Amino acid sequence: MWNQLFDGYCPESKLLGERVKMRLNAHDFFESEKTGLQIAISYPGVNAVVLNFRGDGKFRKTINYAHEVENGELLSPQVMDEFPLCGDKLFGSENEFRDYVNGVR
């Protein structure tokens, strides 16, 4: 079940009823251990930006999981290439989120 609040688990996997951890990767993004979906925290406690490209599984040696530090950020699509990456855009619905994620390569 999709939720606009980021709880530290992969929101893409939630659509399939799965609970998949997101781990900090070498680029300082949280990456789904299953799908490669990446999330950048642009403003802690405010925005979690779903990046428009997938990770390559290169995780940090020190393990850090998003669910251990989550602050209930709102999921936002990446609409800019520079910080804060999301502007003031949020996902408006599960369908909007699903369409965006289906386009992430």
Average pLDDT, the chain: 92
98: pLDDT strictly greater than 90: yes
pLDDT tens digits for range 6-18 = 999 999 999 999 9
Contact (Cβ atoms closer than 8 angstroms) between residue 9 and residue 20 = yes
What count of Cα atoms within 13 Å lies in the side-chain half-sphere of residue 21? 12
Q: Residue 94: phi, psi to the nearest 5? A: -65, -40
Using alpha carbons, select from 15, 52, 47, 49 the residue that is nearest to residue 36.
52
Banded model confidence at residue 71, pLDDT cuts 50, 70, 90: confident
User: Can you give the pLDDT at residue 2?
Assistant: 66
User: Can you give the pLDDT at residue 70?
Assistant: 80
Domain segments of the chain as ranges: 11-103
Mean pLDDT of the region 83-99: 89
